[in-house]
Amino acid sequence: MKTPMVNNILDRAYLTEMRQWVGDAVFHALSAQASDNLAPALADLTAAWRHSDTAAFQEAAHRLKGAAASIGCAALSMAAHDIIRDPRPAEAISGAEMEAFHHLLQSSLQALHGFSDQPHLTPVPASPQ
């Protein structure tokens, strides 16, 4: 698994667009619920890895990829995508790689909550010339 660059942990353009579309209240609610969606997918991934169940591992990675992408956690989604494309069976994934997923989840949630807590500024269009 590749280690993503920290400055790319979130898809800020996607999150900004989502926030503009759904409004601040809904955006804050979605951000607050992110852990409720991401943590179970990562727990399933970890359980499948521990049981050397490659099919369940791939399925959990796919769910994690989608859940992460839907809330703008780009690095986590890309890491899950990399695991989906990895030809190794679940038992060949190292403990360090699995630990990196857990750290990436925590970093992603922290960045997402920080982004959510920032005031939303709607850009003012430029004046016609």
Going residue by residue through the chain (129 aa), what tens digit of pLDDT does each one get? Answer: 444 444 589 999 999 999 999 999 999 999 999 999 999 999 999 999 999 999 999 999 999 999 999 999 999 999 999 999 999 999 999 999 999 999 999 999 999 999 998 876 655 445 555
45, part of any domain: yes
Instruction: Give the predicted TM-score (pTM) of the model.
Output: 0.85
Distances (CA, A) of 118 to 21, 61, 70, 76, 88: 17, 30, 20, 21, 40
In a domain, 124, yes or no: no
DSSP labels for 59-117? Answer: HHHHHHHHHHHHTT-HHHHHHHHHHHH--S-GGGS-HHHHHHHHHHHHHHHHHHHHHHH
pLDDT of residue 5: 41
Q: Residue 47 half-sphere exposure, CB side, CA atoms within 13 Å?
A: 9
Report yes or no on 2 lying in a domain: no
Helices (H) and strands (E) in the chain, counts: 5, 0
Residue 82 and residue 2 in contact, taking contact as beta carbons nearer than 8 Å: yes
* Spatial separation of the C-alpha atoms in residues 127 and 90, rounded to whole Å: 57
53 assigned to some structural domain = yes
Task: Please report whether residue 88 resides in a domain.
Answer: yes
What's the pLDDT at 119? 76
Is the residue at 127 inside a domain? Answer: no
Residue 46 lies in a domain: yes
Residue 77 sits in a domain of what CATH number? 1.20.120.160
Whether 126 is in a domain gets the answer no
Number of structural domains found in the chain: 1
For residue 77, the enclosing domain spans 7-117
CA dist 34 and 67 (Å) reads 8
Q: Which pLDDT score, from 0 to 100, does residue 46 have? A: 97
